């Protein structure tokens, strides 16, 4: 048995939100949407901040049953060299992107800390804001990334159910539930200014999963109150391997979850990626969601080689161009912002502000 941290099982941390998630009637959903929109407008105005992911590599050492990059997949493996990283970033800049999320699989001999640090160094020369979504690292490694210009990191726990987690992660370093759970705290301790968390919805029972994410976010906000925390809402998408999730997460439940999180965590950025359809994303923008990915390519080298890049981690649902997506936001009286972060702030979070 894993000794779980007290906050993960403390139902008091989510008692106010659980009833909102368990309601199923349309009338309560309308009320939640109205309240969530009012909170969003009051705290964030009409701004939607935008970012784009850059997949550096599809090498991976783990055996996650739900992932197109799992080490037993037959698709060709590739990592970008330094020249290719530069070209991808220039292609992204041409789209107007100023906020990049660098992604890898789990740590391998080919793609480890030194490779990721070099990629951060290159990205920081081109982008005002650089974040990573990669393998769990030590405090010292996160400090090294922060010193190179990395200000954010995202890591999904995938599922907060430890028994289900064990079954879904067949081999590799990702089998360690607690090490992954503690990663955001190591990142903040290392000087990373903002951490993003979430669960891959569909892997475990949705209400229980949502409550666990909420407890995690509230624990981080309270314990590391000077650091930023963001919450994402990824639903599992089709991928190589054909994994079928055990739980269905309907649009109406996901909308209810987003509204409840906005009401319960009014100051936290809520993130929705291109995993979701254009219609759903347009509906959620400004109703709770304040940060969104745009023009995403989930293949390695996908911005320069859009037509020829290899296998993706998952299928993108909203494949609109940056121009089309921004036009849709403006039509809803929202203002897309590619850059709301000045590179002058890309130094590590001061030690006195890490807790």
DSSP per-residue codes, 324-344:
HHHHHHHHTT-EEES----GG
* Domain count within the chain: 1
Higher pLDDT, 240 or 313: 240
- CB-based contact 271:23 (threshold 8 Å): no
Residue at 5 is within a domain: no
Q: In this structure, what DSSP letter does residue 82 have?
A: H
Q: Give percent of the chain above pLDDT 90.
A: 82
109: which residues sit within 8 A by CB, 6+ positions away? none
Residue at 272 is within a domain: yes
H and E: helices and strands count for the chain? 13, 9
271-295 pLDDT, tens digit each: 999 999 999 999 999 999 999 999 8
Q: Give percent of the chain above pLDDT 70.
A: 92
Residue at 12 is within a domain: no
Dump the DSSP string for 205-243. Answer: -HHHHHHHHHHHHHHHHHHTTTSEEEEE-PBP---TT--
344: which residues sit within 8 A by CB, 6+ positions away? none
Distance of CA 87 to the CA centre of its chain: 24
Encoding tokens for residue 352? 């006195």
Residue at 345 is within a domain: no
10-65 pLDDT, tens digit each: 999 999 999 999 999 999 999 999 999 999 999 999 999 999 999 999 999 999 99
Q: In this structure, what DSSP letter does residue 348 have?
A: P
* pTM metric for this prediction: 0.93
On the question of pLDDT at 346 being above 80, the answer is no
Q: Angle 206-223/251-264 helices, nearest 10 degrees?
A: 20
- CB-based contact 84:54 (threshold 8 Å): no
176: which residues sit within 8 A by CB, 6+ positions away? none
Higher pLDDT, 1 or 63: 63
Domain at 80, CATH number:
3.20.20.70
319: which residues sit within 8 A by CB, 6+ positions away? 274
| Confidence bin at 240 (pLDDT 50/70/90) | low
* Structural domain containing residue 331: 19-339
Q: Which pLDDT belongs to residue 312?
A: 52
Residue at 170 is within a domain: yes
Residue at 4 is within a domain: no
Residue at 95 is within a domain: yes
Q: Which pLDDT belongs to residue 315?
A: 67
Within the chain, strands assigned E span: 47-55, 99-103, 129-133, 150-154, 194-197, 228-232, 269-272, 291-293, 335-337
Within 149-285, strands assigned E span: 150-154, 194-197, 228-232, 269-272
Exposed / middle / buried, residue 117 (Cβ in 10 Å: 0-12, 13-18, 19+)? middle
Higher pLDDT, 299 or 232: 232
Q: Say which range, 79-93, 251-265, 272-286, 307-321, has the weakest mean pLDDT.
A: 307-321
Q: Angle 139-147/113-126 helices, nearest 10 degrees?
A: 30
Residue at 52 is within a domain: yes
312-344 pLDDT, tens digit each: 555 678 989 899 999 999 999 999 998 765 555
CA distance 53 to 134: 12
């Amino acid at each position: 048995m894993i000794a779980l941290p007290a906050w993960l099982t403390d139902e008091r941390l989510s008692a106010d939100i659980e009833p909102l998630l368990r309601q199923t009637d349309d009338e309560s959903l309308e009320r939640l949407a109205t309240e969530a929109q009012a909170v969003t407008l009051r705290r964030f105005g009409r701004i939607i901040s935008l970012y784009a992911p850059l997949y550096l590599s599809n090498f991976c050492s783990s055996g996650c049953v739900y992932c197109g990059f799992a080490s037993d997949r037959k698709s060709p493996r590739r990592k970008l060299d330094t020249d290719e990283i530069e070209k991808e970033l220039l292609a992204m800049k041409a789209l107007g992107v100023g906020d990049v999320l660098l992604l890898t699989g789990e740590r391998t001999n080919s793609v480890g800390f030194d490779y990721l640090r070099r990629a951060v160094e290159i990205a920081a020369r081109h982008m005002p804001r650089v974040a990573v979504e990669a393998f769990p690292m030590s405090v010292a490694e996160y400090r090294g990334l922060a010193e190179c210009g990395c200000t954010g990191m995202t890591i999904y726990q995938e599922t907060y159910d430890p028994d289900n987690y064990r079954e879904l992660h067949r081999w590799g370093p990702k089998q360690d539930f607690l090490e992954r759970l503690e990663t955001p705290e190591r990142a903040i301790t290392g000087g990373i200014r903002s951490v993003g968390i979430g669960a891959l919805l569909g892997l475990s029972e949705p209400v229980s999963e949502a409550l666990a994410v909420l407890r995690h976010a509230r624990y981080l906000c309270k314990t590391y109150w000077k650091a930023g925390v963001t919450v994402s809402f990824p639903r599992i998408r089709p991928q190589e391997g054909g994994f079928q999730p055990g739980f269905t997460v309907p649009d109406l439940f996901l909308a209810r979850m987003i509204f409840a999180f906005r009401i319960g965590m009014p100051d936290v950025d809520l993130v929705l990626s291109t995993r979701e359809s254009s219609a759903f994303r347009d509906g959620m923008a400004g109703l709770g969601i304040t940060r969104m990915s745009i023009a995403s390519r989930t293949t390695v080298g996908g911005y320069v080689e859009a037509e020829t890049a290899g296998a993706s981690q998952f299928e993108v649902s909203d494949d609109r161009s940056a121009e089309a997506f921004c036009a849709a936001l403006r039509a809803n009286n929202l203002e897309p912002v590619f850059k709301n972060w000045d590179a002058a702030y890309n130094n590590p979070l001061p030690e006195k502000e890490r807790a």
